[in-house]
A = this chain, B = another copy of it.
Amino acid sequence: MDRLTIIKVGGKVVEEPESLNMLLDQFVKISGYKILVHGGGRSATQIAAKLGIETKMVDGRRITDNETLEVVTMVYGGLVNKKIVAGLQARGCNAIGITGADLDLIHAHKRPVKDIDYGFVGDVDDVNSDEVRLLINENVTPVIAPLTHDGKGNLLNTNADTIASEIATEFARYYSVYLFYCFEKKGVLLDAKDEDNIIYDLDYDLFKKCQSEGIIKEGMIPKLDNGFRAKKSGVKEVLITNHENISSGRGTRLI
């Protein structure tokens, strides 16, 4: 099977021109087929504030009322996504920027209200890769914004880490998939105070042990849960790294 590398980058990297340029320089060096999945939360929060819309977060997830949905649609699907596409085109990489609504790529349903009403937040039902694979096989690079749709005309705000692992799992049926989660550190740290003390090989038992000891915490936990799930579903390699290391492949490898 052909190699397909899926890179998920958080908002911070893609929202600042300098780190975005560094990311894109590294990204185009990756050989084989590629997909970029991006966030954009900081810009969304900033623009919402300028528009007088208050941002409410619960456990790191954005409460997405109707106005907030408009903001994330603009920011993720427009501003951040199209800047990346233009930047990749300038580097000779034929990119296409899409959301989960485009090509019916990712179907989701509005998260049911239990203790918290997250609003227009989508939980993924299924991924339809048919037309996207057609493009990939023509050497087109999809750039995916973290939005899905419910098939009834509603866009839904969906966590970018989850989108990356769902996409990776679906594409693993057709390609040898390498999934890289990029964040600020070089990998998962054994000691938060020592940036170089990286866990190079992380298995599920060690992850759970580190979690119970509080070494691995907060946003890293769902990221790793997503990563191990993807690995179990046939994704060849899952790597936690930063955007400077995506072409070398250094970081924390899930085993």
Q: List 18 A-B contacts (CB under 8 A).
A: A47-B51, A47-B74, A50-B52, A77-B97, A78-B78, A78-B81, A82-B99, A82-B101, A82-B102, A82-B155, A83-B155, A85-B102, A86-B155, A89-B104, A90-B151, A90-B153, A94-B104, A97-B101
Nearest CB in chain B to that of A70: its residue: B79
The verdict on A96 contacting B90 (CB below 8 Å), with A73-B79, A78-B76, A79-B73 known, is no
Chain B residues whose CB sits within 8 angstroms of the CB of A51 once the complex forms: 47, 50-51
Chain B residues whose CB sits within 8 angstroms of the CB of A168 once the complex forms: none
- In the assembled complex, the Cα of A95 lies from the Cα of B104 at a distance in Å of 8
A149 at interface (Cβ–Cβ under 8 A)? yes
Task: Say what secondary structure dominates the interface of chain A.
Answer: helix
The verdict on A81 contacting B77 (CB below 8 Å), with A95-B102, A97-B102, A102-B97 known, is yes
Determine which of B77, B82, B152 lies in contact with A90 in the assembled complex, contact meaning CB atoms within 8 Å: B152
- In the assembled complex, the Cα of A70 lies from the Cα of B40 at a distance in Å of 14
A138 at interface (Cβ–Cβ under 8 A)? yes
Chain B residues whose CB sits within 8 angstroms of the CB of A95 once the complex forms: 101-102
- In the assembled complex, the Cα of A102 lies from the Cα of B98 at a distance in Å of 9
Judging by beta carbons under 8 Å apart, are A138 and B149 in contact? Answer: no
Copies of this chain assembled into the complex: 2
Find residues 154-176 in chain A having any chain B CB closer than 8 Å to their own CB.
154-155
- In the assembled complex, the Cα of A186 lies from the Cα of B115 at a distance in Å of 52
A residues near B (Cβ < 8 Å) are 47, 50-52, 70, 73-79, 81-83, 85-87, 89-90, 94-99, 101-104, 131, 134-135, 138, 140, 147, 149, 151-155
- In the assembled complex, the Cα of A77 lies from the Cα of B51 at a distance in Å of 19
Shortest Cβ distance from residue A52 to the other chain B in the assembled complex, whole angstroms: 7
Judging by beta carbons under 8 Å apart, are A147 and B73 in contact? Answer: no
Shortest Cβ distance from residue A177 to the other chain B in the assembled complex, whole angstroms: 22
The verdict on A99 contacting B85 (CB below 8 Å), with A78-B78, A131-B94, A135-B131 known, is yes
Shortest Cβ distance from residue A134 to the other chain B in the assembled complex, whole angstroms: 6
Shortest Cβ distance from residue A94 to the other chain B in the assembled complex, whole angstroms: 6
Shortest Cβ distance from residue A63 to the other chain B in the assembled complex, whole angstroms: 19
Interface centre among A52, A77, A78, A135 (most CB of B within 10 A): A78
Judging by beta carbons under 8 Å apart, are B87 and A77 in contact? Answer: no
- In the assembled complex, the Cα of A97 lies from the Cα of B103 at a distance in Å of 9
Nearest CB in chain B to that of A72: its residue: B78
Chain B residues whose CB sits within 8 angstroms of the CB of A153 once the complex forms: 86-87, 89-90
